[in-house]
Amino acid sequence: AKPEPLKIMISGAPASGKGTQCELITKKYGLVHVAAGDLLRAEIASGSENGKRAKEYMEKGQLVPNEIVVMMVKERLLQPDAQENGWLLDGYPRSLSQATALMEFDFWPDLFILLEVPEELLVERVVGRRLDPVTGKIYHLKYSPPESEEIAARLTQRFDDTEEKVKLRLHTHHQNVEAVLSLYKDVILKVDGSVSKEDVFAQIHRALTKLLEDKKATSGSL
């Protein structure tokens, strides 16, 4: 039988490198990347009422209310591409109630990746982050500079990427993280996120390779 596709969650403080690792993981493993923050930013860009409300909370670095976030994430995970290829859930769940809402639909991860980065690095990562609106790629002025002048000229910055706002986002993260971690403690992989992005990915790649081998062995397809 074909092994079940991978189901992965990735978590960590603001700017710990979740989006960057998701780019590398999806490229290698073909999982569908579902990022709560990206779904919310798309909702803001659409000009909807939910988008307007979400932005008020994001501006303050607070969690957007569940009635906006939960359905958005659930619906995306239920799409056929995520069901067939497996999913990589980024920035969700951020509270116990968000986790419970997923469990009601039988969404449980094979692995919960936690990126650990010392706080003094996070602020530097946030203020130096830039995004390419054309490709969606994440850059950093110092650590991952753009490849050409043309790309450099079109880079944008997120509205919540200031030193002041990242401190609010960090505060919210600290308030909620323990409750979520305790729920997934049996499937947690703690990763040192302070090293280069390639070295962070090497740690994740090792774990995912092992997980896939185990899945193949249990499904009898090895």
State the residues that interact with ligand AP5 by CB under 6 A. 12, 14-20, 36-37, 40, 57-58, 61-64, 69, 91-92, 94, 98, 125, 128-129, 138-140, 143-144, 169, 196-197, 200
In terms of CB distance, is 157 or 221 closer to ligand AP5?
A: 157
In terms of CB distance, is 65 or 219 closer to ligand AP5?
A: 65
In terms of CB distance, is 167 or 215 closer to ligand AP5?
A: 167
Active site residue 129: yes
Active site residue 154: no
Crossing angle of the two packed helices 163-183 and 119-128, in degrees rounded to 10: 130
Q: Closest by alpha carbon to 180, among 99, 71, 68? A: 99
Active site residue 197: no
In terms of CB distance, is 26 or 62 closer to ligand AP5?
A: 62
Active site residue 130: no
CB 216 to ligand AP5: min, Å: 30
Tokens 């709560």 belong to residue: 36
CB 187 to ligand AP5: min, Å: 18
> Which residue in the list 41, 76, 94, 165 is annotated as catalytic?
94
Q: Which residues are annotated as catalytic?
A: 18, 94, 129, 158, 169
